[in-house]
Structures are given as structure tokens and as C-alpha cells.
Amino acid sequence: MPLQPAITEIDQLKDRPAAAALQSASLLEAAKFDRDELTIYVNRADIRRACEILREDTQTKFNFLSDITCVDLFPSEPRFEVIYSLLSHSRKERVRIIAKLPGGDPSIESLMGLWASANFFEREVFDLFGVRFVGHPNMRRIMMPEDWEGHPLRKDYPVEGYR
């Protein structure tokens, strides 16, 4: 069976409750539905509000933050994409939320107040990529030693580390 082409036209995604909820709040920058997966792009300044809507809206009810990760697109700008994977247990549905961050100021608001599971995910992304989560109560390294120089998953990090 051949793959269906990805849907990127926002008007064609109005039947998807997550896309509709964020579009009605004017928080939806872009969206893509491909291989039964919905990806939504939001402005980094709106990440907390977008996640609050997706968690609280009766049509979405994304009650679980299952992962936060990051992609370094160096040398492109914006350099980083912070990716949030949300799950709605009651609707048996997942959504991916992406916020783009510039290389000169890789910071975004913490989601600790919405989901306790954000704690270690945010610390891991900070440790490995150097993305700061504003408002996080314990933003310190979690995987690398405290005196480690740099962030090892950045694409400009030396292969053999700093010497």
C-alpha cells in the first residue's frame, strides 16, 4: 500500500482536535499530518499556553508528557528544535509539539508546572544541548559531571571532546 502524502495545509487539519484547539487560540504556526502522526509547530513564547490548552481542553485532554527531546540543526537558524511528545490516555492519541530556538538564545519556558515528568527531560536537554528552561527549579546537569565543558550532542561539539 503506497504512502499517503503528508497534509500540511492547516485548513485540512481542522478535524484534528489538537490542531483546531491551537488554531482557535491563534497559537498554531504550522502543522503536518503524516503517517498517522500529527506534528504542530508553535512559537517558543507560546509553548506553555499551547500545552495548557492541549491538557485542559475537553476535546484534546493530553494528560501525559511522555518525552522532551531536541534537535540541533547547526549551521541553520533557528538552530534548535525542542520537541514535546504528548499523550492522551482517554483518547488514545499522541501529538508532537515543536518549538524552534535560535542558537544565540536557546531558552524556552519550563513545563514543570504542567507535568512533573518535565523535570528530568528538561534537565537532560539542558545537559546535552545547552537549552535553558526558564523557570525550572533545578536546572543543572543530570548526565554529565558538573565540571564538564560544553554540551556533547551539539553538532559543533568536538568529536573527541575539548582537550
* pLDDT tens per residue across all 163 residues of the chain: 678 889 999 989 989 999 999 999 999 999 999 998 999 999 999 999 999 999 999 999 999 999 999 999 999 999 999 999 999 999 999 999 999 999 999 999 999 999 999 999 999 999 999 999 999 999 999 999 999 999 999 999 988 766 6
Q: In the prediction, which pLDDT does 161 show?
A: 64
Closest C-alpha among 62, 24, 22, 67 to residue 41: 22
Give the per-residue pLDDT at 158: 87
CA nearest 29: which of 16, 44, 14? 44
Give me the pLDDT at residue 98, please: 98
What pLDDT shows up at residue 160?
74
Average pLDDT score, the chain: 94
- pTM greater than the 0.85 cutoff: yes
* pLDDT recorded at residue 159: 80
| pLDDT tens digits, one per residue of 121-130 | 999 999 999 9
